[in-house]
Amino acid sequence: MNKKQKKMLIRIAITAVMLIALAFLPLTGIWRLLAYVAAYLVIGYDILRKAGIGIIHGRAFDECFLMAIATLGAFFLAVWTKSGDYVEGISVMLFYQIGELFQSYAVGKSRRNISALMDIRPDYANIEKDGKLEQVDPDEVAVGSIIVVQPGEKVPLDGVVVSGNSTLNTSALTGESLPRDVAEGNEIISGCINMSGVLKIRTTKAFGESTVSKILDLVENASSRKSRSEAFISRFARIYTPAVCIGAVLLGVAVPLLRMAFGADAQWVDWVYRALTFLVVSCPCALVISIPLSFFAGIGGASKEGILIKGSNYLEALAATKVVVFDKTGTLTQGVFEVTAVHHNELDADKVLEYAALAECASSHPISKSLQKAYGKPIDRSRVTNVEEISGHGITATVDGHSVAAGNAKLMKKLGIEYHDCHCVGTIIHMAVDGAYAGHIVISDIVKPHSAEAIARLKKSGVSKTVMLTGDARRVAEQVAGELGVDEVRSELLPGDKVAEVEKLLAEKSPKTNLAFVGDGINDAPVLTRADIGIAMGAMGSDAAIEAADVVLMDDDPLQIAKAIRISRKCIGIVRQNIVFSLIVKFACLALTAAGITNMWAAIFADVGVMILAVLNAIRALRVHNL
């Protein structure tokens, strides 16, 4: 409990003790009234103050106003009838405050779950001066500075490791407990915790532009984007509260006057009491509190799993997703090209790979890097001369005095070398040495380990169609789609074509369902923006992802997509349960009160009881780990 909650608990305890004591003290007349007024002020002074401030600022019709009028009216009735029964008004306020304390505790619990994510905020950065470490505010560290991160400390800024190696705990960012190894030359993002060695990092971004800063800003502002359900509750409260106040006036004044007009006993005390009870029952606390709390809890629970949802409107949109469109490279595949096969003639496979790696050593293309990685030995560039890159074809070079050509089928045709087609799926690098065909190397983009399972889980979650968009050749695209179980594949697309394909899919789907596009967030920003909901994969450190997407997954595991949809559907289910349950009970109690069947005790138990049940239900949205 925080300080404010403890103070309220003390007030509740004092009021309860005073009520018990007053039940046994032989007080009468004005002294009895003053004693009960004192007990009432102990528990209700803040409600009276808020009601007064609301009236002054033109916001009279809220729950504080309703509670103040109802409880003060109960005191008035006790004085009017000279019954001396002041317990009812105080008890109504007491139970209301107990409900408010419970609600405050529930919201605090939800906030503490998001606070686990907020723990990634760094307190300081270490800068080395004159052989000593000096702690400075991360905001004061300039781009290009060298900072030192010791074991157990948070990485305060994005950068590149210039010395040292260590293991990082990234669970606050990704929701996964698996550590990540880093060494000299590796990029590193803020928010991770250094677990072992000392690291020296050259910063690449100012603190305001760093990953941790953008994530914190995203989560802190998530509540500003309201869902349709929350907007409905706000509109409902603006109409409902004045309406029930008018209804209470009609019960307490119009009905007795009507009875008098027909010659019957007005029964003012009975009807005014009903009107006051009607006001207590009418408080829309369960709706006003539990609906935003459900969304807050859903967003908080998702954040703990490394799924950042930018607002409750996006959580609601995600729940209605029936079509999921994927970018291929970096989303369903690793986006890292690897040598998967070497087919050779006279030369052995290792020699073919060696010639290819040396010939491509001057290139920074991903294919060149994959060849060098597969070769696995240091590249001696002195062995390579006469390198010539032929655009759209490949490379020719002299390696150890031998003429080497590495490229596609066009290069072989250009050089007049007879080559063999390959039926493997992937990029084919044909090799020729001293004018003779030496074989070919197959390079493929590796499918992520969980991609097939992710597609299966999406279908199990109720997604009716999965589509893959890619710029790859049709044969490669269909091979990957078949392996993963994707329903449709659209290949050989330029970046601009992806937006057009998403437009077509949006036109085909049902108006009541949503289309989600999943991309790497770097070059897919236009498509992420155009879809009903954009989901960025593998967004650790990607500014474009955080800016363009509505949902950001802090690791590159496609299984998180299905989990995000399940979290959203659980949350929306809880919201609907609370709306239906609260409205049914509320209107039933209002009808019973108007008929004179319930008294104020029953009214407050109904009001506080429904609120507590709705809040308990809302808290379930936090439990998302096993979804």
The pLDDT-based confidence of 545 (bands split at 50, 70, 90) is low
Give the integer Cα–Cα distance in Å for 267 and 252. 10
Strand 551-553 with 307-309, pairing:
antiparallel
Weakest mean pLDDT among 369-378, 502-511, 518-527, 565-574: 518-527
**Nearest-CA neighbor of 215 among 541, 565, 558, 529?**
541
Average pLDDT of the segment spanning 214-229: 64
Strands of 436-447's sheet in order across = 333-344, 436-447, 427-433, 402-407, 394-399, 384-390
Weakest mean pLDDT among 66-75, 100-109, 483-492: 100-109
Give the integer Cα–Cα distance in Å for 107 and 289. 9
HSE-up of residue 457 (Cα within 13 Å, Cβ side) = 16
The answer to whether residue 611 sits within a structural domain is: no
Contact between 603 and 589 (Cβ < 8 Å): yes
**DSSP 3-state assignment of 384?**
strand
Listed in sequence order, the residues at least 6 apart from 377 whose beta carbon sits closer than 8 Å to its beta carbon are: 354
Is 439 found in the same domain as 357? yes
Q: What is the largest CA-CA distance in the chain?
A: 122
Average pLDDT of the segment spanning 131-146: 89
Give the integer Cα–Cα distance in Å for 444 and 441. 10
Contact between 170 and 176 (Cβ < 8 Å): yes
Q: How far is CA 192 from CA 5, 7, 158, 171, 616, in A?
A: 33, 37, 10, 8, 33
Is 522 found in the same domain as 478? yes
pLDDT score of 330: 78
Strand 159-163 with 187-188, pairing:
antiparallel
The answer to whether residue 199 sits within a structural domain is: yes
In 28-186, beta strands by DSSP E: 125-129, 132-136, 146-149, 159-163, 166-169, 180-182
Is 389 found in the same domain as 459? no
Q: Given a cut of 60, is residue 474 above it in pLDDT?
A: yes
The answer to whether residue 383 sits within a structural domain is: yes
Between residues 606 and 572, the one the model is more confident about: 572
- Identify the CATH number of the domain in which residue 176 sits: 2.70.150.10
Is 427 found in the same domain as 480? no
Average pLDDT of the segment spanning 402-421: 89
Contact between 35 and 141 (Cβ < 8 Å): no
The answer to whether residue 557 sits within a structural domain is: yes
Average pLDDT of the segment spanning 181-186: 88
The single residue of 62, 158, 327, 557 carrying the catalytic annotation is: 327
Is 509 found in the same domain as 473? yes
Give the integer Cα–Cα distance in Å for 612 and 551. 31
Is 549 found in the same domain as 420? no
Q: Which of 218-222's residues contact partners 24+ apart within 8 Å by CB, and which partners?
A: 218/308, 218/310, 218/546, 218/552, 219/114, 219/117, 219/118, 219/299, 219/303, 219/308, 221/310, 221/311, 222/299, 222/309, 222/310, 222/311, 222/312
Q: Given a cut of 60, is residue 75 above it in pLDDT?
A: yes
- Identify the CATH number of the domain in which residue 453 sits: 3.40.50.1000
Is 548 found in the same domain as 408? no
Give the integer Cα–Cα distance in Å for 442 and 614. 59
pLDDT score of 106: 65
Q: Given a cut of 80, is residue 230 above it in pLDDT?
A: no
**DSSP 3-state assignment of 178?**
coil
**Nearest-CA neighbor of 304 among 64, 41, 626?**
626
Between residues 447 and 544, the one the model is more confident about: 447
The pLDDT-based confidence of 573 (bands split at 50, 70, 90) is very high
Listed in sequence order, the residues at least 6 apart from 316 whose beta carbon sits closer than 8 Å to its beta carbon are: 227, 228, 229, 568, 572
Is 509 found in the same domain as 557? yes
Between residues 96 and 545, the one the model is more confident about: 96
**DSSP 3-state assignment of 364?**
coil
The domain boundary, picked from 403, 426, 447, lies at 447
CB count, 10 Å around CB of 619?
21
pLDDT score of 326: 93
Q: What is the pLDDT of residues 381-409, one digit of tens each?
A: 889 999 888 877 888 999 999 999 998 88
**Nearest-CA neighbor of 63 among 37, 76, 44?**
44
Average pLDDT of the segment spanning 313-339: 87
Average pLDDT of the segment spanning 29-40: 90
**DSSP 3-state assignment of 248?**
helix
Give the integer Cα–Cα distance in Å for 238 and 236. 6
**DSSP 3-state assignment of 386?**
strand
Give the integer Cα–Cα distance in Å for 419 and 410. 10
Residue with structure tokens 């004192």? 38
**Nearest-CA neighbor of 120 among 195, 216, 187, 221?**
216
At residue 501, what are phi and psi to the nearest 5 degrees?
-65, -40
pLDDT score of 175: 55
At residue 429, what are phi and psi to the nearest 5 degrees?
-105, 105
The pLDDT-based confidence of 213 (bands split at 50, 70, 90) is confident
What letter would DSSP give residue 360? Answer: T
Give the integer Cα–Cα distance in Å for 297 and 616. 11
The answer to whether residue 414 sits within a structural domain is: yes
Strand 533-536 with 193-194, pairing:
unpaired
The answer to whether residue 374 sits within a structural domain is: yes
The pLDDT-based confidence of 542 (bands split at 50, 70, 90) is low
The pLDDT-based confidence of 516 (bands split at 50, 70, 90) is very high
The domain boundary, picked from 419, 447, 475, lies at 447
The answer to whether residue 503 sits within a structural domain is: yes
Strands of 187-188's sheet in order across = 132-136, 125-129, 146-149, 199-203, 159-163, 187-188
Q: What is the pLDDT of residues 252-276, one digit of tens each?
A: 889 889 888 888 888 888 888 888 8
What letter would DSSP give residue 208? Answer: G
pLDDT score of 619: 81
- Identify the CATH number of the domain in which residue 345 sits: 3.40.1110.10
Is 563 found in the same domain as 468? yes
Amino acid (1-letter code) at residue 573:
G
**Nearest-CA neighbor of 625 among 177, 285, 47?**
177
Q: Which residues pair with 146 in a beta bridge?
A: 202
Contact between 300 and 110 (Cβ < 8 Å): yes
The pLDDT-based confidence of 340 (bands split at 50, 70, 90) is confident
pLDDT score of 613: 84
* Token pair in block for residue 362: 């001057």
Torsion of CA 259, 263, 268, 273, to 10 degrees: -40
pLDDT score of 372: 87
Q: What angle (nearest 5°) sits at the alpha carbon of residue 266, between those of residues 261 and 272?
A: 125
At residue 597, what are phi and psi to the nearest 5 degrees?
-85, -35
Average pLDDT of the segment spanning 47-72: 80
Q: Given a cut of 80, is residue 569 above it in pLDDT?
A: yes
pLDDT score of 222: 57
Average pLDDT of the segment spanning 160-174: 83
Rg from Cα positions in the chain: 34
Torsion of CA 263, 265, 270, 272, to 10 degrees: 50
Spell out the alpha helix ranges (H) of 408-524: 409-415, 451-460, 474-484, 495-508
**Nearest-CA neighbor of 622 among 44, 116, 280?**
116
Listed in sequence order, the residues at least 6 apart from 547 whose beta carbon sits closer than 8 Å to its beta carbon are: 525
Is 471 found in the same domain as 439? no
Is 530 found in the same domain as 459? yes
State percent of the chain over pLDDT 90.
26
Listed in sequence order, the residues at least 6 apart from 499 whose beta carbon sits closer than 8 Å to its beta carbon are: 526, 527, 530
The answer to whether residue 139 sits within a structural domain is: yes
Q: How many domains does the chain have?
A: 3
Q: What is the pLDDT of residues 616-626, one digit of tens each?
A: 888 888 887 77
The domain boundary, picked from 570, 597, 618, lies at 570
Structural domain containing residue 400: 334-447
Average pLDDT, the chain: 83
Q: Which of 99-113, 178-192, 329-343, 503-517 has the highest mean pLDDT?
A: 503-517
Is 462 found in the same domain as 426? no
Average pLDDT of the segment spanning 118-125: 73
pLDDT score of 199: 93
Active site annotation includes 327? yes
pLDDT score of 129: 82
Average pLDDT of the segment spanning 159-175: 82
